[in-house]
Structure 1
Amino acid sequence: MDLSLNGILPPLLLVAAFAITLVAAFVKGATGFAMPMIMISGLASFLSPELALAGLILPTLVTNGMQALRDGPAAAWDAVRRYRLFFLIGGVFLVLSGQLVTAVNPRIIYALIGVPIMLFGVAQLSGWKPAITSEHRRRAEIGLGAVAGGIGGISGVWGPPLVMYLTALDTPKTEQVRVQGVGFGMASILLLGTHLQTGVLNAQTVPFSVILLAPALAGMWLGQRVHDRLDQAMFRRMTLAVLVVAGLNLIRRAVF
């Protein structure tokens, strides 16, 4: 589909794209994640996968920056320092697994990660509450960092393992959202560079991604207002509910 500043999409489809982006950004503002999952699932239902992917790149990059820097650069840098092992291991495995993207069926990856994520969310919502103790934290950080990077390089989905890790640590909600913003922000920069190179993001598709910034910023602002009013217990339940939806969506992608 050709895009231009004068006629990016038919009005009805443009309204639908705005609505999907607004909802996705609202969920991200409230829980700190799931924006790309919601956008790609919604936009790809009536746009080509390439155009849907191009559309989410700039909104996710900007909102991740907002999320990571909401409490200032010093707090964001502290998150990088404290979780540097997870980010380092995840980055290495993302680069390595990316070389296998043509050799591994992504549907297998979606199933392998979607089922555990969904079960983890359902079990915790049902009352099971595992905890990562201080003596096991390093091993958990390495293991889940490797899983996040490994599936991210092949499937483009790297967020849920980080959310699982932070949830199991019972991370305070403000810190959890900040760490997720930092981690997802790093991945967004990588995604931007990758698709400038592949041509998915180009002179014809950039305008679409740019205009989706407006609903993304509005949804993010609204979601953050809700986030500020949530107590820790409600934030945890909302996060787990979104994790269950994320897992089910991955299973859907594996099956269909």
Structure 2
Amino acid sequence: MTLAVLLVLIPAIVLFPGTSREALTEGLNEGFTMAHLMAFVAIALVAAAVKGLSGFGYALIATPLAAVLIDPSVAVIVLAVPALVMNLFQVGETGTGWQYLRQHWSLVAAALVGSVIGVFILKNFPAKQLLGVIIGVVLVSYVIWSVARKGRPATGTAHPVSLGAVGVAEGVLLGAVNMGPLLPAYLHTFERDARRYIGGMSLVFTLVFAERIGQMSVNGLMTAQLLWLGSVIALVTLVGLAAGTALRRWGRINPSVFSALVLTLLGATGVTMLVKAVPHFL
């Protein structure tokens, strides 16, 4: 927890751009107000609580909703910072480490390769409407899969080749649109231990997001302003993450009701993104 806080507290202080609205919102949409900024922070806070409860869902909720306020490509860049910090927190909270990495090395290695491809797509094909379509399709597909699945484990899906294929696809999604619902869905086909399920996802996400932020910093996508904004949001999200984690450990949240609410939100968001973006291609 201390390391996670320091990773974002230092840049949040050092890179503080000033108190004027222009300084605080530089690089965002024209007309972006302080009210929009507060809404951005609130979205990230709620999404972090969801992740604390379920182990995933932050990017699925925060990215499309934030993309309503700012350019989707900018949202993808900014939200990579809190995503890194939260996943690092959950790696420590679940005690997942080298043992998981040794067992599922093909998944982690392939995800890192896929992330390189995804960041390349983000940099060279920053089409706002195309990103909206991708986000919408991913969300709607995930909701349909979640409703249709039976919940029975399929241990054969843990084969290294399958892990590698899913890892590449997951890395591309995370690198390009900051969303990776494929991995949570895939791991759920064979993993039923909550600690390993959450910790395994968090380990993959931590390494991929660290690689992504490094790439985006080198190629100029991650500016000092966006790093500052991501760090501020990350500090807030840690509060939401801690709250969600406490609720999960409390064990009195009805999982069926909670899952239905989350899926409803995701489905509505995905359809909204598609309705807004698809007409631009017709």
Q: Structure 2-normalised TM-score?
A: 0.72
Counterpart check, 1:185 vs 2:206 = yes
Unaligned runs of 5+ in 2: 1-15, 26-32, 278-282
Percent identical among aligned pairs is 22
Partner of 1:19: 42
Partner of 2:146: 121
Query: Which letter maps to 1:79?
Result: Y
Within a 5 Å distance, the mapping from 1:1-256 to structure 2 comes to: 4-7=17-20, 8=24, 10-49=33-72, 51-72=74-95, 75-96=96-117, 102=124, 106=131, 109-110=134-135, 113-124=138-149, 128-134=150-156, 136-138=157-159, 139-157=161-179, 159-230=180-251, 238=258, 242=262, 246=266, 249-250=269-270, 252-255=272-275, 256=277
Unaligned runs of 5+ in 1: none
For residues 187 and 38 of structure 2, the distance between their equivalents in structure 1, rounded to whole angstroms, comes to 35
For residues 209 and 118 of structure 2, the distance between their equivalents in structure 1, rounded to whole angstroms, comes to 17
Change (3 A) 1:155 1:207: closer
Change (3 A) 1:154 1:47: closer
Deviation at 1:188, TM superposition (A): 1.1
Query: Which letter maps to 2:148?
Result: A
Deviation at 1:218, TM superposition (A): 0.6
Query: Which letter maps to 2:108?
Result: F
For residues 12 and 154 of structure 1, the distance between their equivalents in structure 2, rounded to whole angstroms, comes to 28
1:102-130 per-residue CA deviation (whole Å, 9 max, x = no partner) reads 57955675566445422220113xxx234
1:124-170 per-residue CA deviation (whole Å, 9 max, x = no partner) reads 3xxx2343234x4315323423432344454443x211101221114
Aligned length: 246
1:54-95 per-residue CA deviation (whole Å, 9 max, x = no partner) reads 4323222111110112144xx322221222121222333443
The alignment yields a C-alpha RMSD, in angstroms, of 3.3
Change (3 A) 1:252 1:211: same
Query: Which letter maps to 1:168?
Result: T
Q: Structure 1-normalised TM-score?
A: 0.78
Change (3 A) 1:120 1:248: farther
Deviation at 1:252, TM superposition (A): 4.6
For the residue of structure 2 that corresponds to 1:27, the secondary structure is helix
